[in-house]
Amino acid sequence: MKIDSKIFTDINFITPDAISKQGNRVFEDYLKSALLELETSDLIKETEKEKIKFLSEKLDFSLDLLDRIAKIPLNSATSATVGDFLLAQAFEMEKVAESLPEGALKNLYKESALYIGIEAEKIRQGYYQA
């Protein structure tokens, strides 16, 4: 088999042209774009951590409030006020949970928000009035 030497005469014919079009900062531009992608992914992870922390605090507070409500007699005005407040908490939790990536944690927070919403509606309608 014979190899034609014309093929190998200008082996790097693409490289100088590509460098001259983009300037001599090809690696620097590539590095900047890679670092920007890393910072963006880190920012997304931090945002998810903040959302999870927010949801955990809301869930803790709402469950604690439900425990306290179970121990005291409620009248119709108090029931409506507490029910509306808990319902707003549940809607807010569900809205934030929707923005989490798919997984068990998202399902847990969505189901918790649903549970709190159901209990809030029961309180609002007077199921737990004395």
Range 106-124 average pLDDT: 94
In a domain, 109, yes or no: yes
In a domain, 44, yes or no: yes
pLDDT of residue 44: 73
**pLDDT tier, 9 (very low <50, low <70, confident <90, very high otherwise):** low
What is the extent of the structural domain holding 23? Answer: 13-125
Whether residue 110 contacts residue 98, with contact meaning beta carbons closer than 8 Å, is answered with yes
In the chain, alpha helices (H): 15-22, 26-71, 76-98, 104-125
In a domain, 100, yes or no: yes
In a domain, 43, yes or no: yes
Residue 129, token pair as written in the block: 């009035």
Torsion angles phi and psi, residue 98, rounded to 5:
-60, -30
In a domain, 130, yes or no: no
Q: Average pLDDT, whole number, for the chain?
A: 82
In a domain, 118, yes or no: yes
Q: How many domains does the chain have?
A: 1
CB atoms within 10 A of CB 130: 7
Range 13-38 average pLDDT: 65
- 26-85 pLDDT, tens digit each: 777 877 787 777 777 777 777 888 999 999 999 999 999 999 988 988 888 889 999 999
